[in-house]
Amino acid sequence: MQIAAESWDYKVPFRVSRGAEATLDVVVVTLRDADGHVGRGEAAGVDYDGETIPKLIDQIETVRASIESLCAVVPHEAGADRFAALARLLPAGGARNAVDCALWDLTAKQRRATVWEMAGFVNPRRLTTTVTLGIDSDAAVVAGARRYANWPMLKVKVDGVRHLDAVRLVHAVCPGAGLVVDPNQAWTCDLLNRLAPEMQSLGVVLIEQPVARGQDETLRAYSGKIRLAADESVADRADLAAIKDLYQVVNVKLDKAGGLTEALALARAARAMGLQVMVGCMAGTSLAMAPGMVAGQLAEFVDLDGPLLHREDREHGIEYDLGLMQLPSAELWG
């Protein structure tokens, strides 16, 4: 097993309500078996839970021997136990995500199959993603909206002060686009209720995690009609019961869930509860978006625009055409 830390520069500093970053740091895990099969996985970790790349690497190194034992060649119809074993080795989060996605990639090659077949998607569909506009000056927000003026869905990052003004700017440039608004926990339910009516008139179809994690119960006073998506408040299936009556959509992210295995289980459990699914990302490269596209087969909303935010992407990166994502190539992953 190889573990590498990498940094990927953003085109412009990426700002959300928690702060701004010029680069995204990720960990890449590469697994190999004795027959030369190789699987890769990428994770950025969950920054608001205190995950850093050094911490992720330390977590993985602690169970290195056990992970390497999981990479032995598996029979064609076996292998499910290795994912369950990994879940016992590492908690939900970025470390397990990187290893889990690498293990899916490796297992597919060992079986001479695809991850799509392994996940039960015989005819996977291409996905249409939002593209994210970070918190910025009026001129920068307008320029970003113009750059993506023909995209069907845009996501607007906001905070407790800059919210309606940014949405108005984007809607003026892209009146036909559906808008997703993401305060990243920066609002109160009272502010949400004051903003929701005009936001609905501006084409907003979804608001992500308006209130702070742990304050979700305040949303029982929500009076608006725009659907709400739980993001920071839901990592894996254990969190669903607490939010199922407060939100209508669950944002599934592989870094939060601890990999594709739990992401699929979370998406299916959410749907069984009558919730819709959004698949999001932590702004990684195409290597992180590819397994996200597998979970995205179960989603109504897709936010897998990470490569579009960076100056460069990986070789054999996913192709985007006005938001439509082509299925990843076998050279990249899966």
Q: Please identify which of the residues 109, 155, 253, 256 carries the catalytic annotation.
A: 253
How confident is the prediction along the chain (334 residues), in pLDDT tens digits per residue?
Answer: 999 999 999 987 776 656 668 899 999 999 999 999 999 999 999 999 999 999 999 999 999 999 999 887 665 554 678 999 999 999 999 999 999 999 999 999 999 999 999 999 999 999 999 999 988 899 999 999 999 999 999 999 999 998 999 999 999 999 999 999 999 999 999 999 999 999 999 999 999 999 999 999 999 999 999 999 999 999 999 999 999 999 999 999 999 999 999 999 999 999 999 999 999 999 999 999 999 999 999 999 999 999 999 999 999 999 999 999 999 999 999 9
pLDDT at 76: 57
pLDDT at 75: 58
pLDDT at 11: 87
Within a domain: 279: yes
Same structural domain, 141 and 290 = yes
Strands 131-133 and 19-32: unpaired
Same structural domain, 78 and 161 = no
Closest CA to 259 of 107, 62, 65, 38: 107
Q: How many domains does the chain have?
A: 2
Q: What is the CATH number of the domain that holds 243?
A: 3.20.20.120
Cα–Cα distance measured from residue 40 to residue 1, given in angstroms and rounded to the nearest whole number: 10
CB-CB contact of 281 with 303 (8 Å): yes
Q: Order of strands, edge to edge, in the sheet holding 2-16? A: 2-16, 19-32, 38-43
Within a domain: 334: no
Phi, psi (5° rounding) for residue 95?
A: -60, -50
Within a domain: 333: no
pLDDT at 135: 87
Same structural domain, 56 and 80 = yes
Residue 253 falls in the annotated catalytic set: yes
- Burial label for 249, CB within 10 Å (0-12, 13-18, 19+), is buried
Last-in-domain residue among 73, 92, 118: 118
Closest CA to 181 of 205, 197, 161, 216: 205
Helix (H) and strand (E) counts in the chain: 12, 14
Same structural domain, 56 and 113 = yes
pLDDT at 332: 98
Range of the domain at 22: 2-118
Indicate the SS3 state at residue 278: strand
- Burial label for 185, CB within 10 Å (0-12, 13-18, 19+), is buried
Within a domain: 330: no
Within a domain: 86: yes
Same structural domain, 306 and 195 = yes
Q: What is the CATH number of the domain that holds 33?
A: 3.30.390.10
Q: Please identify which of the residues 157, 225, 244, 256 carries the catalytic annotation.
A: 157
The predicted model scores a pTM of 0.94
pLDDT at 16: 67
Last-in-domain residue among 91, 118, 145: 118
Residue 157 falls in the annotated catalytic set: yes
Closest CA to 209 of 229, 194, 195, 223: 229
pLDDT at 74: 66
pLDDT at 71: 87
pLDDT at 21: 80
Same structural domain, 138 and 229 = yes
